[in-house]
Structures are given as C-alpha cells and as structure tokens.
Structure 1
C-alpha cells in the first residue's frame, strides 16, 4: 500500500502528537518536520525522520502529500496557513472563531494560487463541534444552541497568554459554569451572555523583573480571548507549573434545546472528555489530512472547512466497508 506522506509543520505539543498519531494510521507516514527553530536541535521520535527549516518548505513540495500545520492560532497560523497552502495541500486547527472568515479567505487565495487543497479549522472546536452544531440545528430548527468548553486546558488560549510580554510560561483553563449547564439540560433554553457560560483561569510564570499587574491587565483585556469573560490570573513558580499543570486535559459539550412541530421539547447533547487535548487534536488533524488528499485527487482547489468534507473521506475504509459496518 502506498502511504500518504505527511509533513509536520511545527514541533511543539501538537506536532509531536501528530508524529505519534501516525503510528495508528498505517496508510500514512511522516515525511519531514518543518520548524521555525534550529532543526539541528530537533530530536524526532521516528527513526530517520529529518527536521528542516520552515524557510526551506518549497524544497519538499514534491515529497509531501499533505502538510499538517501544528502552530498556534494567535501568531503562527495567520502567517503559516497561507504560506504553506501555496506550497502543499494542508490541514490546520485554527481556532480563533471570530476571525475564521478572514483566515479562510487568506488561505483560500493562497491555495488557489498554488492549485492546492486546504482544510482549515479542524480539530474538535472548531471542527467536530462545528459539525454537531450544524446537525443539531438542521434536525431541530426551532431551538437554541449552547457550546460549553472544559473543564480543561485550552492550547490556543494558553499560547496567547505565553505571547504576552513578560510571560515565561502559562496554562489557561476554561471552566463551564455549572448552574448554567444545569439550566440548559433541564430544557429551560435560557438566553446567555458570554460571561454567563464560562470562567477562565490563567496560571502564569512571569519573567524575572516583569510587572505582574501589567501582565494581568494585558491578559484580561485581550480581545477574542479574555475580554468578555471573568478571568482570574494567578502567578506561580516554574516548579509548581511543572508539578501541578503538566497535563493537558480538555473537552466539553454541544447542546441544543428546542421543540418539534408538535410542541414537544427536546435537548440534544454531544460530549467529549479528553485526557490529552494535543493527542486528540492530532488524531482529528490526520483524519482530515486523509480527506484533504482525497479531495485534491478529485480536483478540489482552494480552502474548505469541515462542512465541505464528505465524512467517508475521513476513514481509511472503503465505501463498501463503511456501509457494511457502520450504516
């Protein structure tokens, strides 16, 4: 079987998780790691897998079937998404929800110039949760959507905090407000503000000499990430960070409360409980990498989202096997 050649762009938590996840996908193999860091300092987990500078990406255009972009949404992907989509077929997990339309447009333009296929904003939210929101609304048109994240570590928000000047390390926990969740599950269908749905808790290791008050204010006022939430910022040592915040659990649920035409009430719910946010995100990215390759083989050019991908394209099974075992 000819294997799909995967380029891993970025070698942080998600990049390493993608490399590991390839072991569960026998139709794929790692082709190269592309990094902003000095590639001589990269030690990959796969024997013989080479790391190279992201500046040399074009050298690998004929050696990579799909590039999986593993950078953060705050500063990495807005630059790397369009740049890589002009060279490779790509998938990413861009998760700054309000800015997805403009990100999609930038990647779409680049992918069309390069005659490539790019699937943006995969992962679990956006991604799987997005699909569930669409399905729930389609089957229950009279109703209200609710998405609750956590409790768990948000990679994108943690990355955004780490980019604040004076921050050495950080973890951000998203926590659903329990009373609010209970109201939705009861079928109440309340109207909720952003602040009524979640709390945000940030644990920060500050650089020596940095002003904690200034860091706290920059975090709390950050648009699209923290400004609309009750956000608590706590400063801790690097030792406590490594001891108490070294795992990355996450999850959440998508709910819709509404009525069918006979006036009866219904609550739909889809839940994820993840021991490792990076590991699960990597698994989703690789399923969509398979889909991106298949779409490209079918002649699809430009950017796509999870809404545009046939579910069967995610599976390594044949259509016959899927109909026989899952329908």
Structure 2
C-alpha cells in the first residue's frame, strides 16, 4: 500500500517532531518540510535526506499538510493550503469563542474547496479536553481540578527518602492559580512497599502537613530526572449525596510537542476518509 505524502509546514519543535514521526509511519510519508525562505538549511539527523522548501508548491505529490506554525499564522497558512486542494491538520491553541470562530473559518474554506481539515488535533486543544470530558461523564456530580506545572524543578528530598519503604524521592513545588503552594512528590519504592502507606506517612510529615501534596510512584527516578517536559495533574472528585465518593486522578509527564505530533499524525491518517469541511479532533474521528 502506498503511503500518503504529507508536507510539514513549519520547522520549529512541533514541526520537527511531526517530521520525525512521519519517517516511521506505515500509512503516511514525509514529502518534505516547508520553512521560511531565510531558514532553508538542511534538517537535522534522519531528516537530512528529505527536501526543504520555502513553499509547498515546490514539493512533489503532496496530498496532505500538517500546519505547525504559530497560532496567529495558522488560519492564513491553512486557507492557502485548502485553496490548493490540500487537506490540512492543525493544533492551534484557541479556546471558547476564538476556537469556534477559527473552526468556522476553516470549515468554510475547506467546504468551498471540497477538501477536509482537522482542527484542534494536539494535546491541548485535542486530547486533554477529551480526557476531562471522560472524567466528568464518569463522575457527573463533582469538582474537576487541573494543575499544570511546566518546567517544574525537581530536587531530591531527604525527608521523603527517610520514609520507610522509600528507595528515593524527588519533590517540586508549584503555585496554583490562586497562589496556593502545591507539592508534587515522586517516589521510587523499595520492593514490597505499599504506596498508600508511604502517602500517609508523607501527608503526616510537618513539611507537608496542611498543604496540597500529590504523591506518585515511579519505576525509576533516573528517568524522571532526565525529563524537562510538561507536567499535568487532572483530578475529578465526586460529590454525590448517596453511594461511595468516587474519584479519578491522572498524573502525566511528557513532552507536549511529541504528544501533539502523535495526535496530528493520527488525524492525518483519517483525512482520506473524511467528508469535506473542518472536523474537530476526537480519538474516534
């Protein structure tokens, strides 16, 4: 089966992540990367053998495009591609009315030129709102809290490492939207240790008492020390009047560009089967 030739528009961190991902795809192929005329230097690493152009028309056989430019430039770039009858995928970070207006403009352009477009195909917007919606569907009555801690600096915690059952620990502090101090503690446990008991011991420690403290188990602290990506904690606590009090907790550490690139590739695989017009990204698109 022949691969769908895909152009990547933009050579920033997201664009390079998309291009790298396309190399390993079985259904999609990298047709080339479009970047600013003054930045046509060869691409790094494995990407060196692929063409670099200042405009998509300079690339051969492009059947789809991943728009990886700053949010304020996405609409203009996407419209030009749609006018050329090239289906697009984008992940511009708009919310509320701005997102609705952006979607409407791209839908009009895609519909007029009889091609498909996928909007919001990234981490946020994209997957994160879907996860939040799933949490709220599963627990209809309750409160949702979302904590982001990009670039959270982690340090070794002697106090936590001294807790029975803890092999090693890293901790970081983060100020919430209201200025409240929150602690994130990552522990590597000794064999046979119970996370619940360790969490209780940490919560009772005067260093953390009375403050929001999230404790998470990791397999190897060394992997966490090497990472410098995005951190997210999504929590949904039920408030039903009857029955058990349910809760859901998602803790994630990842590189946002890598995740967004994977979502954009997933959307690109679906493009050939989509009707004309713009479609908001969902996992089952």
**What TM-score bracket applies, with the shorter chain setting the length?**
0.5 to 0.7
- 1:130 matched residue in structure 2: 129
1:282-321 to structure 2, matched below 5 A, reads 282-295=261-274, 300-307=275-282, 310=284
- Name which of 95, 98, 101 aligns with 1:97: 95
Does the 8 Å contact 1:6/1:68 carry over to 2?
yes
- 1:257 matched residue in structure 2: 237
**SS in structure 2 opposite 1:273?**
strand
Over 3 Å counting, the alpha-carbon distance change for 1:48 and 1:78 in structure 2 is same
1:157-236 to structure 2, matched below 5 A, reads 177=176, 179=181
Unaligned runs of 5+ in 2: 153-173, 185-226
Distance 1:110 1:176 in 2: 42
Compute the displacement of 1:179 (Å): 4.3
Could you tell which deviates more after superposition, 97-106 or 258-267?
258-267
Distance 1:280 1:250 in 2: 10
- 2:80 matched residue in structure 1: 83
Compute the displacement of 1:176 (Å): 5.4
Compute the displacement of 1:286 (Å): 0.9
- 1:70 matched residue in structure 2: 68
- 2:50 matched residue in structure 1: 49
Tell me how large the CA RMSD over aligned residues is: 3.0
Distance 2:121 2:150 in 1: 20
Compute the displacement of 1:149 (Å): 1.9
User: After superposition, what is the alpha-carbon deviation per residue over 1:150-178, rounded to whole angstroms, capped at 9, x for unaligned?
Assistant: 2339xxxxxxxxxxxxxxxxxxxxx5537
- 1:113 matched residue in structure 2: 112
Number of residue equivalences: 219
Over 3 Å counting, the alpha-carbon distance change for 1:42 and 1:96 in structure 2 is farther
Q: From the two aligned structures, give the one with the greater helix fraction.
A: 1
Distance 1:24 1:251 in 2: 26
Does the 8 Å contact 1:9/1:67 carry over to 2?
yes
- 1:323 matched residue in structure 2: none
Distance 2:17 2:80 in 1: 23
- Name which of 238, 244, 248 aligns with 1:268: 248
Distance 1:265 1:86 in 2: 53
Compute the displacement of 1:52 (Å): 1.8
**SS in structure 2 opposite 1:146?**
strand
Q: Determine whether 1:279 maps to 2:258.
A: yes
- 1:25 matched residue in structure 2: 25
Does the 8 Å contact 1:248/1:277 carry over to 2?
no
Structure having the higher Rg: 2
Over 3 Å counting, the alpha-carbon distance change for 1:86 and 1:256 in structure 2 is farther
**SS in structure 2 opposite 1:262?**
coil
Compute the displacement of 1:143 (Å): 2.0
Distance 2:280 2:241 in 1: 31
Unaligned runs of 5+ in 1: 154-174, 183-246, 314-327
